[in-house]
Amino acid sequence: MSELSFHPEPGTYLYATVVLPLALPKPYTYHIPEELVSSVQFGVRVEVKFGKNRLYTALVIDIKQEGPAAYETKPILSIIDDAPIVTPHQIKLWEWMSSYYCCTMGEVMNAALPSNLKLASETQLMLSPLFDDDFAGLDDKEYLIAEALTIQETLSIDEVQKILDQKTVYPLIRRMLEKRVIYLKEDLKEKYTPKKIACVRLTPTYEKLDDTLTKAFDLVSRSQKQTQALLAYIDVAKKQEFIRRQDIYNRAGVDSTVLKAMEKKKILEFYDKEVSRIGVYEDELLEAHNLAEQQVRALDEIESQFKEKNVILLHGVTGSGKTRVYIEKIKEALAAGGQVLYLLPEIALTSQIINRLQKIFGDKIAAYHSRLNNNERVELWKSVLADKPIVLGARSALFLPFNQLSLIIIDEEHDPSFKQREPNPRYSGRDTAIMLAHFYGAKVLMGSATPSVDSFYNVKKGKYGLVAMPERFGGIQMPEIVVVDAKAEFKQRKMQSHFTSRLIEELTAALERGEQAILFQNRRGYSPTYRCNTCGWHSECINCDVSLTYHKFFDVLKCHYCAYQTKIPKECPACGSKELGLQGFGTEKIEDELKIYLPDAKIGRMDWDTVRGKNAHAKIINDFEERRLDILVGTQMVTKGLDFDNVGIVGVLSADQLLHFPDFRASERAYQLMVQVSGRAGRKNKQGKVIIQAFNVASPVISEVLRNDYFGFFQREMEERYNFQYPPYVRLIRLTLKHKTPKTLNEAGKIVANFLKERLGEWVVGPAVPYVARVRSYYLLDFLVKLNKDKKKMIYAKKSILDAVDHLHQRSGYSGVRVNVDVDPG
């Protein structure tokens, strides 16, 4: 008699608690079929059905004897991994993040795992460009899918199921991903590319530097400049492995036309070489393997303080050699068998540090960043799981599966880029790194020339240790800072467009000395406002309550919030007047108008518009490093991670703009940006000069920058924050409601306000319309919850906020109101 199938009895199954990559309030439970019991373990991915017909990759975080009483469990369909892909410490971090940042475990999982590790029904598969139509290593089912993809460009998971006539396809897809036969459609991302420099070498005919060179000299004998260039090449070739074209230009006093003429004669050939991007003085330091007295002292203090403190703030001025200190601590951690995580605010802007560390540690180090494709991210994920010693990365590197993490370095800890703003989890990379270190029992070393107020407050409270490096490496003086009164020059008609006469004079003198300059303006585009001089109309985005910015290169008006763009109107849409004009200035306008006053200068621009293209950022930096550019105009990108040895002048064009933001951190951000950009001047052999243009020269922040007085700035800022009750004296949670209909949003705001004020009373501020009231067609309302640093109050406030969101969404007509909860808004 055949075996009959009855209802499962209690105790028949084991149960797996899993996390799905969805915004579910809590983990979900599935039962484990008998044939899979031996394969299911913590940390492996399993294929499950959720909802009606959706398949997902879920992550097992617990196995238990009893299932849930509230619902009937579904079976796990298949096991995808042979071994865990996450560690228990990671899951602890996810749980903490979901609790602290008011989001779900699924949202944390979505942020943490590379796309290739979280397949879903809607995932699209494509043939990999690495697949060469060799079907020999594929089994029958893999062959069917690969063959189908040669006929059809993409396949969905559902289509794969139909082709194979089976439901469990994720293990098969995993195998094909590992074999590089397929990749996911979202893998189409540009890879990170290392720096390339323009080099020159002798053609094969002359490369041996023997008697054949006589023929080469005969070919250039009629040109003195070509002869000088060839002699310079031979001289440099004796000392260097490769020769930059710039080396020949400098040594022989020739230009590119000379080398091009020699290329036509087939004496020289041009090529690009990949090299590490290492600052000159830092390169010498590495070769010498020596430490300055200040660095030795800092290392001793760090070692001593780590005995009592788990977190230390390294407060070192720009150019003090903090990176060299990090290197020594990394060496110590590796010698003890630990792993190191080195966090940077923006990986694409810190390539100098990355390549320097790669040169020292070789294949022990790996970089994790947004320009890796998904296959590469999975490989790196697995290498960290296999104890890769050092990982460099932006905030997302926090999610990697470390086993032996013993040291976390947070470089430029003050940088706002460490804060995730969209989507959930809206976490602080710095604060999360400190919690991650706590789970591993690791130490944290944070560094900055301009520490965040929050971190320095924790130093003052005794929570963090402090080590100071007040001198620049090599005894180089801090730059001379000069504040120029733009208001006075404007009245005296000395202003030349947006440049003071002093700035133009200093730039001219620097160029005559053969030095380079950096000009900082924290606004991109040509002009931020296009206005009618008759009625006062100005161009606004149709989706957002912001002015459109004019971009001259594209000759369009653009929105920097939603990317909407439109052509420039020929007449005022309101009154019909043709008296239309541009107001204000951005980096594009500075670059354009600077050419009028310095016509012989070679000017480059670095902002979001110019670094979008492939290798664009690296090319701009390379050109400036190799002195093909005299002046670099840029937004805050030029303040981050860039060390140039020939910058004599730095100009801050509109210091006032930095201070006039409706944010309690405006003064802090302004001070940090001005000091950081000032630090780009005079970083080798001589003192640099910084020119700060301002209409309000009496601003206390500008005075503090002028004196390089961080402690004075900190003291004054703390007094203001205490008076107005802002962090670090209180904790903040921002609640933002969004909807496309103002009436619905306003009513939703009243519902949430009534609910919260009943629970939290005077802790609630708002609702209020934010500075930018509409973004991407959604109207916004903000609430701010202020509470003192009491853990129980914080937990109660968060629960009340989440209850308020549920209360709103359960009301008829308000389920479409979007709600963002931002704990510790940045």
- Same-domain pairing of 134 and 222: no
- Same-domain pairing of 600 and 667: yes
- Same-domain pairing of 157 and 232: no
Helix (H, G, I), strand (E, B) or coil at 84: coil
- Same-domain pairing of 389 and 270: no
- Same-domain pairing of 332 and 269: no
Phi, psi of 652 (to 5 degrees): -105, 115
Is 447:124 a contact under the CB 8 Å cutoff?
no
Helix (H, G, I), strand (E, B) or coil at 501: helix
User: If we measure between CA atoms, which residue out of 430, 650, 655 comes closest to residue 523?
Assistant: 655
User: Quick one: pLDDT at residue 190?
Assistant: 33
- Same-domain pairing of 453 and 356: yes
- Read off the amino acid at residue 570: K
User: If we measure between CA atoms, which residue out of 303, 288, 299, 349 comes closest to residue 323?
Assistant: 299
Helix (H, G, I), strand (E, B) or coil at 444: strand
Please identify every stretch of the chain with a pLDDT value under 50, giving residue numbers as ranges: 1-4, 187-194, 276-288, 614
User: Quick one: pLDDT at residue 293?
Assistant: 87
Element (DSSP H or E) covering residue 14: strand 14-19
d(CA 4, CA 2): 6
- Read off the amino acid at residue 366: A
User: Quick one: pLDDT at residue 390?
Assistant: 92
User: Quick one: pLDDT at residue 706?
Assistant: 86
Domain limit, last residue, from 135, 158, 187: 187
- Same-domain pairing of 651 and 504: yes
User: Quick one: pLDDT at residue 766?
Assistant: 83
- Same-domain pairing of 204 and 343: no
User: Quick one: pLDDT at residue 803?
Assistant: 93
CATH number of the domain residue 108 falls in: 3.40.1440.60
Q: Could you tell me if residue 279 is inside a domain? A: no
Q: Could you tell me if residue 200 is inside a domain? A: yes
What is the SS3 assignment for 726-788? CCCCEEEEEEEEEECCHHHHHHHHHHHHHHHHHHHHHHEEEEECCCCCEECCEEEEEEEEEEE
Mean pLDDT over the full length of the chain: 84
DSSP assignment letter at 432: H
User: Quick one: pLDDT at residue 791?
Assistant: 87
- Same-domain pairing of 25 and 107: yes
Q: Could you tell me if residue 756 is inside a domain? A: yes
How far does Cα 82 stand from its chain's mean position? 33
User: If we measure between CA atoms, which residue out of 162, 255, 266, 149 comes closest to residue 207?
Assistant: 266
CATH number of the domain residue 591 falls in: 3.40.50.300
pTM (predicted TM-score): 0.76
Domain with 174, as residue range(s), is 124-187
Number of domains comprising the chain: 7
What is the SS3 assignment for 473-499? HHHCCCCEEEEEEHHHHHHCCCCECCE
Is 249:217 a contact under the CB 8 Å cutoff?
no
User: Quick one: pLDDT at residue 641?
Assistant: 56
Q: Could you tell me if residue 6 is inside a domain? A: no
User: Quick one: pLDDT at residue 623?
Assistant: 77
- Same-domain pairing of 646 and 758: no
User: Sign (positive/negative) of CA torsion 38, 44, 49, 54?
Assistant: negative
- Same-domain pairing of 496 and 611: yes
Burial class (CB in 10 A: 0-12, 13-18, 19+), 607: buried
- Same-domain pairing of 519 and 532: no
